[in-house]
Structure 1
Amino acid sequence: MPAVVLLLAGALLSGCNMITGQDTPDTARISVEATELEGTLDVVLSDDWVDLGTVEGVELFSADTVAVSPPWEETVDLRDSDRFLVRVLPPGDHVPTASLRVELDGRESFFREQVLDEGAIQYQVLLQ
């Protein structure tokens, strides 16, 4: 009898996404725009990080950094990832206004526009 209960509990837990209608996204579409930008912005992409739960935010174990000339768009495959992070860094020598939009499977999940003297724009999500 305990084996049957464990089997049913496992089936229910694995089917939670079917019940809630929330499936793990397959893709993230990233859009970066900027005004008053001289040159490029660095965009950091990672699926290898941990949330520190502190003011410091996250610790990246590995990441790709690309220099982009906005407007810039990229689609990232999330099927083999359990987490995703994108960060737009301030250029350092001047202060543009930038925006970051992230769509997960075509649905907007995040949008922020800010002057980059306020720091980086970052979006992170754990994929279940």
Structure 2
Amino acid sequence: MTRIPMIPVAIAAVLGLAACEPTTPATPGSTIPTGPYVLVGIGSDTVPQRNVGMTINPDGSVSGQGPCNSYNATQTSEPPGFTLGPLVSTRVGCSGRAGQLEQRYFAALQAANGISFEGGVLTIKGPTYLTYEPGYRKEK
């Protein structure tokens, strides 16, 4: 029986997870790290597919991919406020559950009015809360 040394395996696992961590705040004095996030909750519902992603860019803009369409928008307020300019997205047809999730997600983003990052969880606040974890969306 061959034994695999556990220390190199543990180091590789930590380095792999570190690559998913958000980086520095977008705005000096902000507590919101830039980088990739994956949607895990919308309102009181979970998003087990993990097929919606958002990146907070260093200039404060956001971009990402829903179940069907990519999107981007500029922020027009400073954290803890969160207001997006017009959401620009591709126009790929999207039906069924994926289409319903995407419509609900885009509507929640446009109606958002606050943002926080606590305990490794990003929350975009508004009439419908969006909850994210650091990382990348699951590809189809």
More strand by share: 1
Fold equivalence (TM over 0.5) = no
More helix by share: 2
The structure with more radius of gyration: 1
Question: Normalising by the residue count of structure 2, what TM-score does the alignment of the two structures yield?
Answer: 0.30
Instruction: Tell me: higher relative CO, structure 1 or 2? Use CA pairs within 8 A at least 6 residues apart.
Output: 1
